[in-house]
Structure 1
Amino acid sequence: MTQLWNVTYTWRLRELMARDGMHATSDIIGPLAEHGITLSTSQAHRLVTGTPERLNLSVLAALCHILAVSPDELIDTDTQLIGSRLRAVGTTGEKPRRTPRTPVIRPVRAQVHRPDDQL
């Protein structure tokens, strides 16, 4: 039986920036530049106001250092079991063997004709 999980996460960058007195989305650009990460104003805005689906580990490490937090404080995760499903039984990973009665199935080349062609 395979368990199915729902994983949710909350991006807390804006909250942690406000805690440290950084209230504008562009306030993070300078500290990130000191860590060798260059972001445009629009990229910084998306990073602060949105929830990133993908995040470069260098950016994550720099944000954690700037805000003096660990990744689990920056990204709050929650996991809930939503159900389970049965796993296939009897499969060993081997290819099924053909019996002498099992015909070999081969592809047949298609023949395409134009409407004006004679058959």
Structure 2
Amino acid sequence: MGPLLRERGIDLSASQVHRLVSGTPERLSLQVMSALCDILSCTPTDLVTTTAENAGVRKTATGDLPTPPTGAEKFRPRPARILPDA
């Protein structure tokens, strides 16, 4: 896989190629994805699967549940007006 990637301008170390081939990468650049699709004669949807998950309620830094909005976010500061000295 390394030489095929190098032919397409992708220079990965042996360990990077091993991780790419032997497991599921956490991140992948578009250039590498494009080269893999060219090598394997496939599309990105053939290589990537997605699953939808329900997002849980995020906790705050203190571990408490987030507080509901109070309405204070409606208030905005008024622009300052500079008046000439009288």
Identity of aligned residues (%): 43
Which stretches in structure 1 are left out of the alignment for 5+ residues? 1-27, 98-119
Which residue among 70, 73, 82 is the counterpart of 1:93? Answer: 73
Letter matched to residue 49 of structure 1: S
Which residue among 66, 73, 81 is the counterpart of 2:46? Answer: 73
Change (3 A) 1:35 1:91: farther
Q: Quick one: distance in 1 between partners of 2:10 and 2:56?
A: 41
Which stretches in structure 2 are left out of the alignment for 5+ residues? 59-66, 78-86
Letter matched to residue 22 of structure 2: T
CA-based RMSD of the aligned residues comes to: 2.9
TM-superposed deviation, 1:81: 3.1
**Relative to total residues, which structure has the larger strand share, 1 or 2?**
1
Pairs within 5 Å for 1:34-113: 34-81=7-54, 88-91=68-71, 93-95=73-75
Letter matched to residue 70 of structure 1: T
Q: Quick one: distance in 2 between partners of 1:34 and 1:92?
A: 58
Pick 1 or 2: higher relative contact order, CA cutoff 8 A, min separation 6: 1
SS of residue paired to 2:52: strand
Per the normalisation by structure 2, the TM-score is 0.62
Residue 82 of structure 2 corresponds to none
TM-superposed deviation, 1:33: 0.7
